[in-house]
Structure 1
């Protein structure tokens, strides 16, 4: 009966993840023998990774777990794939499986449209590459092309607008926010704080014993990697702020003092930094500048579509910065100028404004301000007329837009009213 009830490798992995070690191992071998066998196997796996230079975190991929289960299922006599098989038959099978997985996405494009992400080279090359992709997908299914804000992409956008005026070409929001963080990091008070903080972290991570003691005292690492280059300084400052008490405790400890590193130049500088009140005040100021924007960056850099929430998130971030500095404009004006300069120039497109207007979470609580502004409704009309050429369909959409504004029909039901308050609700 086993051959009729055999589960797949993927199902086996899932079952193993939900069971304890004792449940996984049904063997006559002692636990010591099992541990020896595992260490031997892991040693060879690690040796392969080291020799080839494969990143160690790839062991977290589901396919790695599936591979281990499949090898164990076959047994000792398994012969691995040849170079020809990997570059030929198995590669083609994997390609077919990947293309088959796109079928549901392609069906969804009929209703939702899709976004193309661009790359860097030169304007003409990018334009031709993106144009071929649009042809493959179908121009009527593409809403926008998203690239970073390099000049070559601006040139490609001009070429695309001339040929396909209905398709938007917008800047990559995460890249733009990352540039804001870079500019904020260049403000004197922030730049000085980052330099001082780096002296502390460099000292702590330069010596194995000091690092081990730090991890023991804090219970975690102090340095954290950000999703982008310029988010990392913020995360490190935030980590220092969150662990201030333990960091001070570490530098006052006899154990660290007995190691002798605090008597050396780098140790003296690091100790002086953490014992200075002005440094910690600088950390607080920098975090208050960075954190609201870093939260926006985290939101737009996730897998959840951000077009409908981006403008609202930016407004919320500006308000939060104001509140953190008690609405004293003299304390945050330089940061606001940095944010507004890049935001106004790259990320206040008709699509962004329309997304804000059509998100009930933002629209209904701020209805009067949005309607009085006029630019948001104008952005919606611009998107409709640019993307839809059929005049009758345009009129139908405008009629539905009026129903939305008046909270009529289904927009006025109890369930719709309740969902407006859900910030994570996807209006699309």
Structure 2
């Protein structure tokens, strides 16, 4: 949007409140609907996959997003509150079956959900009713459960991830450390957000390993002694900076012939 405004140059008139909320919004909705119709025509040619993605919002409600994937791409279908649905397999089955009906049974090749027991049971029920489609557990969720088991059941993984979290928490809870970190890592972040919580843990461990040298250099840097030197120098010059000390330093052979001797 900003690039388009810049290309237009001076004198552009912003749309009015009415144009944004009525005229332009309706135009955009019509455009999206036309795109969806193109996708639907593709479903009839190649078939499609109904995908569900469950998550919890800030009010701890269970929300499920439904998307449809085909060689043409993926589109968002609907988002519903499943707080009172997901506990029983019969209700989950009814929900999935309803979406298959809306898309068209003849178009749906497979239905993908997570690996929870109620969804698995509902998927089996769906295949018994709809003979031409397949229920498939989500590969991402399966891999996430593997990573979760690694952390829970392998002591070395659990200990390493705990230490990694301590390092990242220590750094990212201190604004000064974040600034120093970016200097030593050339702008790279330690945190590597992934699709899932457990994937994030392992991606972050990978980044910690990658930047191990930079982190060692950061914590061993002379910059951490700078404020200490400032305190020492302030006290020294105000209280102990006397000619006798200078003469003692200059005339001491051990000091005078050392590699860091300063004749100033």
TM-score clears 0.5: yes
Pick the aligned partner of 1:246 from 214, 219, 223: 214
Q: Does the C-alpha gap of structure 1 residues 131 and 70 become closer, same or farther in structure 2, counting only changes over 3 Å? A: farther
Q: Does the C-alpha gap of structure 1 residues 149 and 90 become closer, same or farther in structure 2, counting only changes over 3 Å? A: farther
Verify the 8 A CA contact 1:144 1:167 in the aligned structure 2.
Answer: yes
Aligned to 1:165: 131
**Aligned-pair distance for 1:157?**
1.6
Aligned to 1:112: 46
Give per-residue Cα distances to partners, 1:239-295, cap 9 Å, x unaligned: 1111111111111112134467xxxxxxxxxxxxxxxxxxxxxxxxxxxxxxxxxxx
In the alignment, the residues of structure 2 paired with residue 112 and residue 207 of structure 1 have an alpha-carbon distance, to the nearest angstrom, of: 53
- Taking the TM superposition and a 5 Å limit, the aligned residue runs for 1:62-73 are 64-65=1-2, 68=5
**Aligned-pair distance for 1:184?**
1.0
Aligned to 2:165: 198
Give per-residue Cα distances to partners, 1:71-129, cap 9 Å, x unaligned: 968724642347xx63x655443332112112332232233210001235323443333
Aligned to 1:140: 106
In the alignment, the residues of structure 2 paired with residue 124 and residue 66 of structure 1 have an alpha-carbon distance, to the nearest angstrom, of: 51
Secondary structure of residue in 1 paired with 2:192: coil
User: Tell me, which stretches of 5 or more residues in structure 1 are unaligned?
Assistant: 1-63, 261-428
Aligned to 2:72: none
Secondary structure of residue in 1 paired with 2:195: coil
- Taking the TM superposition and a 5 Å limit, the aligned residue runs for 1:6-405 are 64-65=1-2, 68=5, 75-76=12-13, 78-81=15-18, 86=21, 90-118=24-52, 119=64, 121-122=85-86, 123-186=89-152, 187-219=154-186, 220-258=188-226
Secondary structure of residue in 2 paired with 1:237: helix
**Aligned-pair distance for 1:229?**
1.1
Q: Does the C-alpha gap of structure 1 residues 195 and 65 become closer, same or farther in structure 2, counting only changes over 3 Å? A: same
Verify the 8 A CA contact 2:192 2:203 in the aligned structure 1.
Answer: yes
In the alignment, the residues of structure 2 paired with residue 92 and residue 152 of structure 1 have an alpha-carbon distance, to the nearest angstrom, of: 40
In the alignment, the residues of structure 1 paired with residue 15 and residue 39 of structure 2 have an alpha-carbon distance, to the nearest angstrom, of: 36
**Aligned-pair distance for 1:155?**
3.4
In the alignment, the residues of structure 2 paired with residue 100 and residue 65 of structure 1 have an alpha-carbon distance, to the nearest angstrom, of: 26
Q: Does the C-alpha gap of structure 1 residues 256 and 198 become closer, same or farther in structure 2, counting only changes over 3 Å? A: farther
**Aligned-pair distance for 1:148?**
0.7
Which structure has the higher relative contact order (CA within 8 Å, separation 6+)?
Answer: 1
Verify the 8 A CA contact 2:161 2:201 in the aligned structure 1.
Answer: yes
Q: Does the C-alpha gap of structure 1 residues 136 and 172 become closer, same or farther in structure 2, counting only changes over 3 Å? A: same
**Aligned-pair distance for 1:165?**
2.1
Scaled by the length of structure 1, what TM-score is found?
0.41
Secondary structure of residue in 1 paired with 2:110: strand
In the alignment, the residues of structure 2 paired with residue 217 and residue 239 of structure 1 have an alpha-carbon distance, to the nearest angstrom, of: 14
Verify the 8 A CA contact 2:5 2:12 in the aligned structure 1.
Answer: no
Q: Aligned pairs, how many?
A: 194
Q: Which has the higher strand share?
A: 2
Scaled by the length of structure 2, what TM-score is found?
0.64
In the alignment, the residues of structure 2 paired with residue 125 and residue 65 of structure 1 have an alpha-carbon distance, to the nearest angstrom, of: 47
In the alignment, the residues of structure 1 paired with residue 99 and residue 3 of structure 2 have an alpha-carbon distance, to the nearest angstrom, of: 33
Verify the 8 A CA contact 1:127 1:156 in the aligned structure 2.
Answer: yes
Give per-residue Cα distances to partners, 1:14-42, cap 9 Å, x unaligned: xxxxxxxxxxxxxxxxxxxxxxxxxxxxx
- Larger Rg, first or second structure (1 or 2): 2
Q: Does the C-alpha gap of structure 1 residues 184 and 72 become closer, same or farther in structure 2, counting only changes over 3 Å? A: farther
Q: Which has the higher helix share?
A: 1
